[in-house]
Amino acid sequence: MMTHTHLQSTHTYLQLQGLWLPLITPFANGRLDETSLRRLVKHYLTQPVDGFIMAATTGEGLTLDERETEKLVRITADEVAQSGQAIPVYLGVSGSYTDRVVRYIKNTTYWPIDGYLISCPYYTKPSQTGLVQHFTALAASTNRPIVIYNIPYRTGVNLANEAMLQLAELQNIIGVKDCCAIPEQSFELMQNKPVGFQVMTGEDAFLYRALTNGADGGILASAHILTGTIANIRNKLAAGDLVGAKADWAALEHLPELLFAEPSPSPIKHWLWRAGLIESPEVRLPMVPVSADLAKCIDEEMKRHST
């Protein structure tokens, strides 16, 4: 087996930009649906996706055991390798006991992943000093790159910019998935971030605003749908086509509201199921399938985009 060395990971550091997909995990009859997973990965490898995040929130990572998670990343990495594309595969990680998260990361040493997306500890609400020490310990446990996931409305704690910039000085903490939901904090971070530290928005509904304020890209669940259109918004902004980018955003800015009308990833799974990309819209409790009313709305939206 080969481990990822620091030099191997350096190439990945440069790719934290553009559009990253936190891939859903397809299930059938309570088990990982490997056939649908391969179909999904093959499909998105034909789309303008710059990276995959596996077993994160959208991937229902908290419902997966370690064996399932390893199988998930091995299948995905295999499809990426067969495609010949240099698209990084990151693993979503969470936990509120630092030593346990360190052990988990070390258990993944031989997994075919390129880095980690790690959320702030949930429920315990540590201090800023505690958060810095937590992520410093995690960074010391691996030579793979780490992206911090700051989402206080899920975890109960907000990693403030002073602490974030302190962590950004660590060599393998390369960026943040920013869901702080405080526009002033996000803007200040984008203005003050050091070279080599990337800010990726995770707020689907505020993609356009984040990009125009200086975000390096997005890690977006809604990118499962109309992937090319979402990617083009950033591309047009980069090319100076503000009118085109704004028009593209206006055409789909209602999409996040639809896809998050009920707890994610159920609406996305319904869309992908209706599109024939997965065999079942099945989710694991406590998630439940979409309501009949939302299913109807999604089906109608799909018809509009197919004409």
DSSP string for residues in 214-227 = T--EEE-GGGGSSH
Q: Helices 292-306 and 266-274 meet at what angle, rounded to 10? A: 50
- Identify whether the C-beta of residue 28 lies closer than 8 Å to the C-beta of residue 279: yes
* 177 catalytically annotated: yes
Fold classified for 6-251: TIM Barrel (3.20.20)
CB burial of residue 279 (10 Å; 0-12, 13-18, 19+): middle
* pLDDT, tens digit, 9 for 90 and up, residues 249-264: 999 999 999 999 999 9
Find the mean pLDDT for residues 71-76.
98
Please state, in angstroms and as integers, the Cα–Cα distance from residue 252 to each residue in 205, 236, 247, following that order. Answer: 10, 15, 9
Amino acid at 179: C
The one-character DSSP state at 50 is -
* 193 catalytically annotated: no
* pLDDT, tens digit, 9 for 90 and up, residues 188-206: 999 999 999 999 999 999 9
- Say how far residue 267 (Cα) sits from the centre of its chain: 17
* pLDDT computed for residue 307 by the predictor: 59
143-157 in b/e burial notation, b at 16+ Cβ within 10 A?
A: bbbbbbbbbbeebeb
* pLDDT computed for residue 10 by the predictor: 41
| Banded model confidence at residue 306, pLDDT cuts 50, 70, 90 | confident
- Identify whether the C-beta of residue 198 lies closer than 8 Å to the C-beta of residue 189: no
Q: What share of the chain is helix, strand, coil (3-state, %, to 5)?
A: 50, 15, 40
Choice among 149, 193, 208, 269 that is catalytic: 149
The Cβ of residue 177 has, within 10 Å, a number of other Cβ atoms equal to 27
Choice among 177, 193, 236, 269 that is catalytic: 177
The one-character DSSP state at 170 is S
* pLDDT, tens digit, 9 for 90 and up, residues 206-256: 999 999 999 999 999 999 999 999 999 999 999 999 999 999 999 999 999
The Cβ of residue 266 has, within 10 Å, a number of other Cβ atoms equal to 22
CA dist., res. 291 & res. 306, Å (int):
23
